[in-house]
């Protein structure tokens, strides 16, 4: 790689990372599936029950 | 210093964990099964988590281990992909921007698993090379090499070396990063 290529490489890397962040944030914004929220409810209820016994 | 109860903190990482699962598996059903397994394991082994360390990295490590273990069990080289990753299309800035983002997602789907995860960890999740290396159980140099190879492959697939392509994609990127709102069609 020559020093003249460096800014272009940096621009490309920035473009790739920013596109990735955009895709990743779209995926993060997806609604949490019921199976996960249901599981959390069960786990919290189990924890509460255990605390109640102590 | 984070004063959240670790179980409450875990919940704050779930959106990122799911995004990571989807980017690894590219299949919603598999991603959700893997997440369920990861949440269960993390919750029941919370005493093994060291407060003050990176919980997101810890969760990603558990999920990643689940992914490779289940893939080995199924003895599949190619994952059962339903394009969960590349089909995710929210509102995009403009027609060109949308097409380019689709191209980007399809190109990203073509990367080998190890390069995809390295790029997601470092490029999208903000992990340092050391954190990504610890998550993947390899040396930091290996992660650097995977990220470089992934970027080179995307550059080739998307023809980003061509000046015209970069001019077009820069317009799209500027719009995406600038969060320009577009009326829904």
The complex scores an ipTM of: 0.83
A–B interface: beta-carbon pairs under 8 A: 99
Which residues in chain A are contacts of B21 at CB distance < 8 A? none
CA torsion angle for B46, B52, B56, B62 (degrees, to 10)? Answer: -40
* pLDDT the model gives residue B93: 45
Q: Please check whether residue B46 is in contact with residue B92, taking contact to mean a CB–CB distance below 8 angstroms.
A: no
Three-state DSSP at B12 gives helix
Total residues found in chain A within this entry: 54
- Cβ distance A20 to B119 less than 8 Å, yes or no, reads yes
> In angstroms, rounded to a whole number, what is the distance separating the alpha carbons of residues A49 and A45?
6
Which residue has tokens 């190890």?
B114
> In angstroms, rounded to a whole number, what is the distance separating the alpha carbons of residues A32 and B71?
24
pTM for the predicted model, two decimal places: 0.79
Token representation of residue B124: 């999208």
* pLDDT the model gives residue B64: 95
Task: For residue B71, give how far its alpha carbon lies from the nearest alpha carbon of chain A (Å).
Answer: 21
* Sequence-ordered strand ranges (E) for B40-79: none
Task: For residue A53, give how far its alpha carbon lies from the nearest alpha carbon of chain B (Å).
Answer: 18
- Cβ distance B40 to A39 less than 8 Å, yes or no, reads yes
* pLDDT the model gives residue B146: 97
Q: Does the CB of A36 have a partner CB in chain B at under 8 Å?
A: yes
Q: How far apart, in Å, are the Cα atoms of B14 and each of A31, B22, B46, B52, B109?
A: 11, 12, 15, 18, 22
The pLDDT profile of chain A, 54 residues, written as one tens digit per residue, is 556 678 888 888 888 989 999 989 989 998 899 999 999 999 999 988 888 876
Structure confidence by residue, pLDDT tens digits, B71-88: 887 765 455 566 665 555
Query: Shortest CB distance from B173 goes to which of A13, A19, A33?
Result: A19
Q: pLDDT-based confidence at B58, cuts 50/70/90?
A: very high
């Amino acid at each position: 790689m020559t020093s003249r290529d460096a800014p272009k490489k940096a621009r490309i890397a920035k473009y790739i990372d920013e596109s990735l962040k955009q895709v990743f944030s779209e995926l993060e914004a997806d609604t949490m599936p019921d199976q996960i929220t249901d599981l959390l409810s069960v786990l919290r209820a189990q924890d509460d029950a255990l605390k109640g016994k102590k | 210093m984070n004063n959240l109860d670790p179980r409450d903190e875990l919940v704050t990482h779930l959106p990122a964990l799911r995004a990571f699962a989807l980017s690894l598996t590219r299949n919603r059903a598999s991603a959700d099964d893997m997440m369920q397994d990861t949440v269960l394991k993390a919750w029941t082994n919370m005493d093994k988590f060291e407060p003050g360390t990176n919980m997101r990295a810890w969760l990603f490590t558990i999920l990643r281990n689940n992914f490779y273990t289940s893939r080995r069990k199924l003895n599949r080289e190619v994952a059962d992909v339903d394009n969960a990753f590349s089909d995710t299309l929210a509102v995009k800035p403009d027609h060109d921007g949308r097409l380019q983002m689709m191209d980007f997602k399809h190109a990203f789907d073509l990367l080998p698993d190890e390069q995809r995860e390295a790029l997601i960890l470092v490029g999208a999740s903000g992990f340092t090379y050391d954190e990504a290396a610890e998550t993947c159980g390899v040396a930091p140099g290996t992660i650097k090499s995977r990220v470089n190879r992934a970027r080179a492959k995307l550059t080739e697939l998307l023809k980003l070396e061509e000046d015209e392509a970069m001019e077009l994609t820069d317009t799209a990127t500027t719009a995406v990063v600038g969060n320009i709102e577009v009326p829904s069609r």
